[in-house]
Amino acid sequence: MELAYYSDYAVTLVNTEEPARSKDSLTSVEAIRELFGANQQAARRATDTDVTRFRSVRARLRAVFEAADDGDETLAVDLLNSLLLEFPVSPQISGHDFRDKDGKPDWHMHLADHPSNATAGYAAIAAMGLAFHLTSYGVDRLGLCQASPCRNAYLDTSTNRSRRYCSDRCATRANVAAYRARKRLETERAAETGRTAEAAQTSTARTDR
């Protein structure tokens, strides 16, 4: 398993909140446990106090995406490094549950956390995964959706670094809005051209008199 895979943990956590819409789905222990997915053992460590802790880590991860989206690479790296220092992990070779065609362990790298609580465990994996993604693909591959008011985080894996939206839905919505804006502008320009032509004709008629 590529270590950059763990970067999805960061995206999933950041997108539990939509600031512009005043929406926040991270409101309970159950919501935290859902973030861990299949990692149920880690999820069982979650308690009510982790809700506030998770929100704090979420704000710090969003700040990384905001800095990257603004083109401030140094700030993005500094913010991520502070998370890595606070929430360390130990890379380990693992072969559990993965077998090749001959039945031998399919050895791969795994991030082993040693947390004191559920937040520390999740934050460690999310920060390390995001760090691997950033160093492998570039800071400019971390972005925030450009379809207003959505500002969801995303990881750009396109070949030409062209991604601007968190989903196809937002991309479609943005394209429709841009199309309508262009049509309004064309209509306004046509109307202005018509008024200008009419005024010119009126002026010419008056001169001819």
- Is the pLDDT at 110 greater than 80, yes or no? no
Q: At what angle do helices 118-137 and 73-86 cross, to 10 degrees?
A: 140
Arithmetic mean of pLDDT, 112-123: 82
**Token code pair at residue 79:** 């913010």
Taking the C-alpha atoms of residue 116 and residue 60, their distance in angstroms, rounded to an integer, is 19
pLDDT of residue 146: 92
Task: Give residue-wise pLDDT tens across range 52-91.
Answer: 999 999 999 999 999 999 999 999 999 999 999 999 887 7
Name the residue with higher pLDDT: 149 or 205: 149
Task: Give residue-wise pLDDT tens across range 4-15.
Answer: 678 999 999 999
pLDDT of residue 2: 57
Given the structure tokens 């939509």, which residue do they identify?
18
Name the residue with higher pLDDT: 59 or 209: 59
- Is the pLDDT at 172 greater than 60, yes or no? yes
pLDDT of residue 105: 82
Confidence band (pLDDT; 50, 70, 90) for 31? very high
pLDDT of residue 101: 75
Cβ neighbours of residue 17 under 8 Å, at least 6 residues apart? 23, 24, 25, 26, 55, 58, 62
Helix locations, the chain, DSSP H = 7-14, 29-35, 40-43, 49-69, 73-86, 118-137, 168-208
Q: Give the rounded percent of residues in the chain with a pLDDT score beyond 90.
A: 51
How much is the pTM?
0.78
Average confidence score pLDDT of the chain: 85
pLDDT of residue 1: 42
